[in-house]
Amino acid sequence: MQQMNNRVFDVLYQFITNLLNIPIFIIRYFFLGVFYTLYFCGSILVMLTFGVAKYFIYGVMYVFYLVYRGIKFLIYYFCKGILFIIFILFIPFRSLMNGSNKRKVKKKQIQESKKESRHKKKDDDIYVNENVKIEKESIGSKLKKMFSKINNIPVWFKNKFVNNDFAKHRRNKKTMQREALLIDFDGEDAEKSETKELYQYVAKDQEGHVIKDFFEAFSKVEVHSFLLSEGFEVYSIKKASKWTVFVHGKAKTNTTRIKTKDLIFFITQLSTYLKAGIPLVEALKILSRQFKNKRYQKIFKAIIYDLTMGDNFSDALNKQGVAFPRLFINMVKTAEMTGELPEVLDDMYDYYTETEKTRKQMITAMMYPSLVFVFSVAVITFIMMFVIPQFVEIYSTMDAAQIPAFTKAVISISDFLQSYIVYLIIGLVLFVVLFMYMYKKIRGFRTVIQWITMHLPVFGDTIIYNEVTMFTKTFSSLLAHNVFITDSMEILNKITNNEIYKMLILDTITNLAKGDKISTAFAGHWAFPIPAYEMLVTGEKTGELAEMMAKVSAYYQELHKEAVTRIKTFIEPVLTIFLTVVVGVIILAIVIPMFGMYSTIQSYG
């Protein structure tokens, strides 16, 4: 009986120990499995891609090389065979020639003997070091040389193909046939379409390369003018075929948004080039070469085209759809009026740098808690679906009255997850998609969600501080560059995504139309803190509204940083406690009935 009790205790101890280690092992080996899976899949994909491409080219070039060698040897041995036949046919005539050639043979023998004597004297004068051993070339070096020759086959084949007489003749013939395109500036070529159309052109760049490409414009004249401004020699321009338009895609408004980090790089580089005295169009050409993203290059090419056609820089930016932020476009428009484009670009660089910094702080603060929450849910789901069912058969032999209520609840939840986990995942995905769709498309729903989040105990202040920082920073920047207050409010209304602040800005625009002050709409509003309101009133009275808004922005940016740190320190222990409590409850739900079984066994004993 004592041995049986010890076995039960050992089993319970091992079970509790293994159960406590389950979350650690799951997280650990999940990370290792994901990492090694991604690593091996990526390695295999890269090796297959490069290996197939490389050795396919090697194989094709080597086949061409073997064909060339075969033809070469065929011609060589064919000529050799002909010479051998001629030699055999010549043998009967040699006897007639022997008499006349004896003197020549003797002279040749005398000359050869003289040459041999000279070579012997030279060999006697040559010093030979017998201690030095000349090593034979190894097989590895021979293989390296062989592979290097194989690697050079494509280059050799390209040189032979490109530089032979036939290819040169073909290129020269094409060049002679090409003539500069003559455009009718008053006829059909100058007729503009209502929308941009796709044109196919052939032109030669400044380096002498003939380029065939596509370009979207309103007429042939515009394509021709743009290519000439780029330094091209234009040979032909024609409308693309329907199939080409289908493959290339119709001309439409740009839908690519330039990322904030790329926008920061664009602004600082453009400011530097303009300060160095480089013209705007040339600076944009340099920038387009620095971006490898083809969509960005297409945007820059369209801007250069619009500038070449006589548009302002702000109008060219505005035509690119959602590529550039509205604030940046309006600030450039203001700079065009004042002639201070480099200074405005520097201010925009500072503005977007601080904005990106604030956004990254928020993402960094929420990254760790989000990962902990996801893995907590994964661990709990794993225990409920794969660990709990192992004990259901054991508990089925017990009396239902002996099983605690929360153990039955845990078993019921486990059965529910096993039966409906697929439907739960599908429902969760549908809920997230529907929620995101309603949040983006339905203004009333978005307003309610934003109102709720701004009233949350810990998160609400962080959201309010962020909105106040963005509002005052943007307002200050607009006022500092002499943008009218009404125009500033319209710009702020366009760039903010918070519906509560949109309402405040619309109230301000209405009050300004009535002749009231800016501060009237913000007085006593819960989304605009009292210190910010008092600074706004002070700026109105003193006429230094831009400076006051800049100070408010700096102050609430620091408060936002502190709030983000506070959220991080608050969420981490909450998630840890949540995981501990849930796992602890599951363990107790499993262990307590076992103690009941042990007491029953002991009573029978």
- Give the model confidence (pLDDT) of 516-543 as tens digits: 888 888 888 899 999 999 999 999 898 8
pLDDT for the residue 429: 92
- Tell me the average pLDDT of the chain: 76
Residue 6 has pLDDT above 70, yes or no: no
pLDDT for the residue 374: 84
Q: Which of 239-243, 448-452, 472-476 has the highest mean pLDDT?
A: 448-452
pLDDT for the residue 321: 82
CA distance 430 to 576: 29
218 or 121, which is more confident? Answer: 218
Q: How confident is the model at residue 269 (pLDDT cuts 50, 70, 90)?
A: very high
Which amino acid is residue 50, in one-letter code? F
CA distance 348 to 265: 11
Lowest-pLDDT choice from 207-211, 407-411, 519-523: 207-211
Residue 96 has pLDDT above 50, yes or no: no
CA distance 168 to 465: 70
Q: Is CATH 3.10.20 the right assignment for the domain spanning 188-248?
A: yes
SS3 496: coil
pLDDT for the residue 586: 81
Copy the structure tokens of residue 135.
Answer: 């090593």
Span(s) in the chain for CATH 3.10.20: 188-248
Residue 336 has pLDDT above 70, yes or no: yes
Buried b (16+ CB within 10 A) or exposed e, 477-516: bbbbbebeeeebbbbbbeebebbbbbebbebbbebbeeee
pLDDT for the residue 573: 81
Q: How confident is the model at residue 11 (pLDDT cuts 50, 70, 90)?
A: very low
Question: What is the percent of the chain with per-residue pLDDT over 70, rounded to a whole number?
Answer: 63
72 or 136, which is more confident? Answer: 72
Q: How confident is the model at residue 411 (pLDDT cuts 50, 70, 90)?
A: confident
- 559 and 465 Cβ atoms separated by less than 8 Å: yes
Q: How confident is the model at residue 327 (pLDDT cuts 50, 70, 90)?
A: confident
Q: How confident is the model at residue 199 (pLDDT cuts 50, 70, 90)?
A: confident
Question: What is the percent of the chain with per-residue pLDDT over 90, rounded to a whole number?
Answer: 10
536 or 3, which is more confident? Answer: 536
286-302 per-position pLDDT tens digit: 888 888 888 888 888 88
Residue 212 has pLDDT above 60, yes or no: yes
- Residue 375 to residues 25, 354, 430, Cα–Cα distance (Å): 12, 32, 21
170-191 per-position pLDDT tens digit: 665 555 445 555 555 556 666 6
150-161 per-position pLDDT tens digit: 667 666 666 666
Residue 285: name the closest of 268, 264, 270, 265 by CA: 270
